[in-house]
Amino acid sequence: MRQVWQMAEVMRRAHFKDFLMFCIVSLKYHYSVVVRSGFVTFVGRPNVGKSTLVNAICGVKISIVSNKPQTTRTRIRGVYHGEDTQVVFVDTPGIHKPVTHLGERVNATALESVTDVDVVCLLVDACKPFGRGDQWVADHIDISKAFVVVNKSDKATREQLLGQLQAVSVLNAAEYFPVSARTGDGVPQLLKALVSLMPEGPMYYPADMVTDTEDAQWVAELVREQLLAVLKDELPYSVATKVTEWEWPRVRCEIYVERESQKGMVIGKGGELLKSVGQAVRAQMPEGAFIELHVVVDKDWQQKPERLERLGY
Ligand SMILES: Nc1nc2c(ncn2[C@@H]2O[C@H](COP(=O)(O)OP(=O)(O)OP(=O)(O)O)[C@@H](O)[C@H]2O)c(=O)[nH]1
Ligand SMILES: [Mg+2]
């Protein structure tokens, strides 16, 4: 508040040089403020609820979510701002046995994200047996320093949850937390433990910033989220999205499919499916947005490194 008042006072006097100096000092102050801050990465098999948990902790939608595995394809950062605390949560793609170039790329992205962070959390699903896939992920992180988060506690029976906590106890991880990203159960306890491990450090992001995802990338993700919700079988995995024009309020987003036969399924009868996708996305954008969706066949894009590069994967 005092800063705002000082800024108003300097502006009132209209001494531009003073104003500039004030801005520089304020910026220096901002970045020299020492808080508890650091980075936390969520890793795990696809569909265990990593993105849902990042969204729940940050209190806003940072990452898209779907009931289909392999939803997240890039590293997404969400910032939690607490009292004298800033924790940057890194959401990662679910680690799986890859069958395409895309699969290899997203796995590599996830594994790269566990280095240079303060805490790694391995997420597992409370309702699915702890399997070889989960163990593979555990073997590729420093498990003795990691937290194991057993998610979806709301969905599991008491026996299931206890059984899962017992199954993961053999990992000899640093700590174990049963949580529900959906209801928020157990999330404050997890957050408290994470915050206590953050070292003293700078505010990495301004206080009003919750993610560094660019607007165009976010809109493309929202389009993909809507498509994932309605498309079936293999089609969700064949779809990619990219915003190719941004002339606010007009936004053009291309939807890539791998084969001609998939194009019609994405457009829907009389364009109905595409229309409803556009409406659902527009509802999540600032008022006045006009979103144009175009379906493009890009044969076998998942297998082409240069295409993956262009799509930001
Ligand atoms: N019941 C219940 N469902 C959950 C919970 N957390 C996530 N889900 C559901 O699980 C599904 C997968 O959630 P995501 O957050 O997309 O999972 P993810 O681990 O990010 O998946 P990938 O991005 O594919 O790796 C969605 O349908 C979520 O609504 C939870 O705590 N309880
Ligand atoms: Mg995800």
Angle 272-282/215-230 helices, nearest 10 degrees? 130
DSSP state of 202: -
Q: How far apart are CA 300 and CA 257, in angstroms?
A: 8
Determine if ligand 1 sits within 6 Å of the CB of residue 262: no
pLDDT (0 to 100) of residue 270: 95
User: Using CB atoms within 10 A of its CB, is residue 62 exposed (0-12), middle (13-18) or buried (19+)?
Assistant: buried
pLDDT for position 94: 98
Residue 12: the pLDDT is 45
Backbone Cα Rg of the chain: 22
Burial 153-186 (b: 16+ CB within 10 A, else e): bbebeeebbeebbeebeebebbbbbbbbbeeeeb
Query: How buried is 272 (Cβ within 10 angstroms: 0-12 exposed, 13-18 middle, 19+ buried)?
Result: exposed
Q: Is 46 in the pocket of ligand 1 (CB under 6 A)?
A: yes
Whether the CB of 107 sits within 6 Å of ligand 1 = no
- Residue 209 makes CB contacts below 8 A (sequence gap 6+) with 79
Q: Does residue 65 line the site of ligand 1, with CB under 6 A?
A: yes
Answer yes or no: is the C-beta of 155 below 6 A from any ligand 1 atom.
yes
State the pLDDT at residue 34.
Answer: 79
Ligand 2 center–CA 22 separation, angstroms: 42
Distance CA 77, CA 91 (A): 6
What is the distance in A from the centroid of ligand 1 to the CA of 307?
A: 28
Mean pLDDT by 10 residues, the chain (313 residues): 41 52 52 85 98 98 97 98 97 97 97 98 98 98 98 98 98 98 98 98 96 98 97 95 97 98 96 97 96 97 96 96
Tell me the pairing of strands 35-44 and 119-125. Answer: parallel
**Under 8 Å between Cβ of 152 and 180:** yes
Instruction: Give the chain's end-to-end CA distance (angstroms, integer).
Output: 42
Q: Is 73 in the pocket of ligand 1 (CB under 6 A)?
A: no
Pocket test for ligand 1, best of 50, 52, 127 (most atoms within 8 A of CB): 52
Instruction: Compute the distance from residue 287 Cα to the ligand 2 centre, in Å.
Output: 27
Q: Provide the token pair at 238.
A: 């064949």
201 lines ligand 1 (CB under 6 A): no
Domain annotation for the chain: domains and CATH numbers = 2-30 (no CATH), 35-201 (3.40.50.300), 215-310 (3.30.300.20)
At 3 the pLDDT is 41
> Which backbone phi and psi does 243 adopt, to 5 degrees?
-80, 120
Contacts of 293 (CB under 8 A, 6+ apart): 223, 253, 254, 255, 274, 277, 278
Residue 167, token pair as written in the block: 């199954």
CA 256 – CA 293 distance, rounded (Å): 11
Q: What pLDDT, on the 0 to 100 scale, is given for residue 27?
A: 54
Q: 178 and 190 in contact (C-beta within 8 Å)?
A: no
Q: Is the CB of 180 under 6 A from ligand 1?
A: yes
CA of 69 to the centre of ligand 1 (A): 9
Give the span between the Cα atoms of 310 and 242, in whole angstroms.
Answer: 9
Residue to mutate, 42, 45, 47, 187, ligand 1, most ligand atoms under 8 Å from C-beta: 47
Residue 247 falls in which region: left (phi positive, over 0), alpha (psi -120 to 50) or beta: beta
Q: Which pTM does this prediction carry?
A: 0.90
